[in-house]
Amino acid sequence: MNSQEIIAIENKHTSGVYLKQALTIVRGKGALLFDADGAEYLDCSSGHGVANLGHAHPKVTEAIYKQASTLVTLFETFPNDQRAMLMEKITALTPGLDRVFFCSSGTEAVEAALKFARISTGRKNFIAAMRAFHGRTFGSLSATFNKKYREGFEPLLPGVSHVAYNNIEVLEKAVNEETAAVLLEVVQGEGGVYPASLEYIQAARRICDERGALLVVDEIQSGFGRTGKMFAIEHFGVTADLLTCAKSIAGGVPMGAVLIGAKVKNLTPGAHGSTFGGNPLSCAAANAALEVILEEDLPSQAAEKGAYLMGKLKAIQSSNIREVRGLGLMVGIEMKQKVTPYLKALQERRIIALNAGMTVIRLLPPLVISYEQIDHLVEVLSEVLTAEQKDE
């Protein structure tokens, strides 16, 4: 099928909940994507942070092929070699979090963490942050701040309140003896690419300890090397009680997980479950993905390339840019106007990027992006972001 045929079929049958692009992608390799006509695009979205290893990494592809011809699905009541290996590998990366619950997506991981916090503490209330995004199912949506996601679906989960991000005083006042957990992204992604301050995350840990609440850290977008550490929480010198992850965990195969600390209790058989959670195919892909991340030292690559990229972006001479911020290869360019025209202009120049709210261009390139590709990205961004100045 050609591009127009594919677009016509999707437009006829789509649910309507996605704003479709007039661009048909059929293949990927490394940091590149290719449309149905063979045109090449630099992917600076990574499928909203999924393709940390790039597209079609040979080790992940081989692992998927091998496992697909061996055993695809198996419920977690039956132990499995691939699952056991993954449990051992992933908990070795997170000292203090030595148990894991597998599921199929990020929002499922957040739902599980909310349930685990309630059953563990016997409390019902949650504190989340303004600008937070944690998912679109009812529990995770309740912790998501932006009204555009919430409108039409209220009433949501009761007992969830939102407080100003990076404000220790406000958090001190909000957490009390009825709080089951504080749920935070250490770098807000969808909310505008805002990194937390060291003092804020350390204060959140202290406040939760003092009040008997659990600290839940959402690493769905920031995990697996994206920010320059395996997990972003490592930048802050504290440990979460529950850590949610997904997106890039299995090299592109759908998977989510909750890593669980010692303070989490009462997780007895039947308390929760997931039909596809921990299936052998996803676990095999995740085992291969983790091996690649460690062998290629992708966290260090993200730290170095992220510093290089942000340095180049900050050097762009444009009065349209308000701020460049981020951590590792999780980068936001805040503009003084809406970014949709900029994103369209970038796509016309064969660069795919994201927004984070109305005024932030979000860059989440694969961690395997080359310096040559970064230079090309900055060159095109510089032309696009200064175009209005030249026209005036």
Task: Assign 11 a pLDDT band (cuts: 50, 70, 90).
Answer: very high
Print the domain residue range for 248: 67-295
Residue 312 parent element (H or E): helix 298-314
Label residue 119 exposed, middle or buried (CB < 10 Å: 0-12, 13-18, 19+). Answer: middle
Q: What mean pLDDT comes out for the span 340-361?
A: 97
pLDDT tens by residue, 49-61: 999 999 999 999 9
Q: Is the separation of the CB atoms in 66 and 56 below 8 Å?
A: no
Secondary structure of residue 231 in the 3-state scheme: coil
- Residue 54, domain member (yes or no): no
The CATH number for 221's domain is 3.40.640.10
Instruction: Provide the pairing of β-strand 354-355 with 351-352.
Output: unpaired
pLDDT (average), residues 214-243: 98
Determine, yes or no, domain membership for 361: no
3-state secondary structure 237-304: CCCCCEEEECHHHHCCCCCEEEEEECCCCCCCCCCCCCCCCCCHHHHHHHHHHHHHHHHCCHHHHHHH
What's the average model confidence in pLDDT over 19-23?
90
The answer to whether residue 82 sits within a structural domain is yes
* Per-residue confidence band for 313, with pLDDT thresholds at 50, 70 and 90: very high
User: Which two structure tokens, joined as six digits, stand for 198?
Assistant: 């060291």
Angstrom distance (rounded) from CA 232 to CA 329: 11
Instruction: State the average pLDDT for the chain.
Output: 96
Residue that the structure tokens 């609440």 belong to = 213
Answer whether residue 163 is part of any domain. Answer: yes
Rounded distance between C-alpha atoms, residue 95 and residue 223, angstroms: 15
Beta bridge partners of 324: 333
Any domain includes 351: no
Domain-embedded: residue 88: yes
**pLDDT value for 1:** 86
The domain tally of the chain equals: 1
pLDDT the model gives residue 388: 60
pLDDT tier at 387, thresholds 50, 70, 90:
confident
Say whether pLDDT at 237 is over 80: yes
**Who's near 286: CB < 8 A, 6+ residues apart?**
86, 90, 249, 250, 251, 253, 255
Q: What is the pLDDT of residue 391?
A: 40
Is 31 a member of any domain?
no
In the chain, the percentage of residues whose pLDDT exceeds 90 is: 96
Q: Among 107-111, 122-126, 317-321, 375-379, which stretch is predicted with the lowest mean pLDDT? A: 317-321
| Confidence at residue 362, expressed as pLDDT on a 0 to 100 scale | 98
Confidence at residue 346, expressed as pLDDT on a 0 to 100 scale = 98
Would residue 157 count as lying in a domain? Answer: yes
